[in-house]
Structure 1
Amino acid sequence: MRIPRSLEVWKMGTVNYLDALKLQEKLVADRKTRKIADTVLSLQHPPTYTLGKRRTDHNLLIPESELKMIGAELCYTQRGGDITFHGPHQAILYPIISLRDIGIGARNYVEKLELTMIELASLYGVRACAGQKGETGVWVGERKIGAIGVRISYGITSHGLAFNIDPDLSYFKHIVPCGIADKEVTSLRKETDSLLPTEEVIQEQLISCFARLFGYSNLIWKEKGLIFSDNGEN
């Protein structure tokens, strides 16, 4: 008989990118020492451009000094992937899970993240697919609807995926998204004729797709207030 696997789901609301980065680093350390179970953070960020460990600054198309004028900031990370944008009206998941416990490798992990967003899009009649070779993320035709950038340390994952529900797409004009030129970025709002529910519902649907694909049958939901109370923070 297969033992049910549990996943803690932290519903964080809107979180500053650097605060989320520090939290992920702590949770990765705790997961390595088995202080916590597999966990996924569900959140959004204020407008933020992030660069991966390859430091492809040339794909930021405006001077860093002008970012404040458009209400955005730039953050450097150790994740894979190229430059991307995070902002309001995206559904973001940061899984802190043990790939060794699940029994899958890095490539399969990324493929399942792609399938998570593909399944979510399909709920609204949108036919999405994984990118061609060299094109990370999830696409609707030639338009990118979901980004992926992951870090794996000793089998423990961090960073993750960002699915565009209805972000301000003008922010993407200031970068070469994920280093892929001459391709558009799109959103669920632009691609579907369906009436969309609240973003909270869509984020929960994304989590459900993730849990099913990764074999988690027991979801333990934690709201933001309870999370900080459990961790001894104000």
Structure 2
Amino acid sequence: MSTSHLLRHLHLPSITPFTHAQTLQSLLVSQFLTHKAALSSSPPSPLPPAPLPTILTFSPTPVYTTGRRELGTLTASQTALLRAPLPNSGAYPIAEVTETLRGGQTTFHGPGQLVIYPILDLKSVRSATWPRGLTARCFVNLLEQTTIDVLGGFGVKGIRTENPGVWIDDLKKVAALGVHLRRNVTSYGVGLNVCTDLRWFDRIVACGLEGKKTTSLREEGVKEGLELGEVARLWVQRFVEGLWGEEGKVVEIKEEDITGKGAGELLPKDRRTL
């Protein structure tokens, strides 16, 4: 099979520690950056194989993440409030607080939310639609449109507003969006609330937007088809169609296809747990 229009999908089926997902993402990003560095070195370095675009999907243990504009800004009292146990929240009553380099401001990720991290080189994705690769703006639009298309499959109308993410109306956000680019290699992405406990969002001004609310597919009346793995596969298929149309193919992979031996020893370099 040709790999020119092939995208790998790794879905972590269990509730996953957020730091573990970050480690996997960092490993994937580093593979792209190593390849690009070899391409541009003088004299040329031995060329490693070109990485395949990969989407990592998972539902994490509870965590509040800040964006790059908020690095070092949370006070001790704010952090303590975010870490306080949430009553009647099941097996994961306490959230971590983690800094990241993505765009956007503070948001929540946790069980029942589908987190979607596409890792790809925007300039190497070529198709009839994107003959020169994607710009950052086109990539963000594709993330939003893919999410809107998936919502439509559940009978929920998603929209864009002047604020980032995907909304049900001007007041209710169903999916947060924040990305990071380094040498046109993408990381982070979308947090889609499928059946998330929305009480976690009561502790923050989600994404810094006063007067707005957070919703989920379940909150919007969707009762069936909310298994996160299936929603993930629907999202990835829509995304691939947006990249390459009918020529795009998805291959499901396992964690060991990425990590190999000793990968668990890698430490993410772009986040700190507070």
TM over 0.5: same fold? yes
2:168 is equivalent to residue 140 of structure 1: yes
Q: Is the 8 A contact 2:114 2:191 kept in 1?
A: yes
Shift of 1:167: 0.2
Q: Tell me if the contact between 2:11 and 2:229 (Cα under 8 Å) persists in the aligned partners.
A: no
The answer for the alignment partner of 1:96 in structure 2 is: 119
Identity within the alignment, %: 29
2:38 corresponding residue in structure 1: none
Instruction: Report how many aligned residue pairs link the two structures.
Output: 229
- 2:155 is aligned, of 120, 125, 129, to 125
Aligned partner of 2:254 in structure 1 is 223
Shift of 1:43: 0.8
1:69 aligns with 2:85: yes
State which of 180, 183, 202 in structure 2 corresponds to 1:151.
180
Change in CA separation of 1:57 and 1:145 when aligned onto 2, cut-off 3 Å = farther
Under a length normalisation based on structure 1, what TM-score does the superposition of the two structures give? 0.89
For 1:140-219, list aligned pairs within 5 A: 140-141=168-169, 142-193=171-222, 195-215=224-244, 217-219=248-250
1:107 aligns with 2:137: yes
- How far 1:160 moved relative to its partner? 0.6
Instruction: Describe the shift of the 1:197–1:156 C-alpha distance in structure 2 as closer, same or farther (beyond 3 A).
Output: same
- 1:191 to partner: Cα distance: 1.3
Larger radius of gyration: 2
Shift of 1:128: 0.5
For the Cα contact (< 8 Å) 1:6–1:37, is it kept in 2? yes
1:19-30 pair list within 5 angstroms: 19-30=20-31
Q: Which has the higher strand share?
A: 1
Task: Find the aligned partners of 1:173 and 1:12 in 2 and give their Cα distance.
Answer: 27
Instruction: Find the counterpart in structure 1 of residue 64 from structure 2.
Output: 49
Shift of 1:220: 1.4
Q: Return 118-127 or 189-198, whichever deviates more.
A: 189-198
- Secondary structure of the 2:68 match is coil
The DSSP-based 3-state class of the residue aligned with 2:103 is coil
The answer to whether the 8 A contact 1:59-1:176 is kept is: no
User: Which residue identity is paired with 2:104?
Assistant: G
Counterpart secondary structure, 2:29: helix
- TM superposition shift of 1:204: 1.2
Q: Residue 102 of structure 2 aligns with which residue?
A: 79
The one-letter amino acid of 1:100's match is K
1:195 positional shift:
2.6
Classify 1:214/1:166 alpha carbon distance in 2 versus 1 (closer, same or farther; 3 Å).
same
Q: CA 1:57 to 1:85, structure 2 compared with 1: closer, same or farther past 3 Å?
A: farther
TM-score calculated relative to the size of structure 2: 0.77
Structure 2 unaligned segments of length 5 or more: list them: 36-48, 87-93, 126-132, 265-274
User: Post-superposition shift, 1:57?
Assistant: 7.4
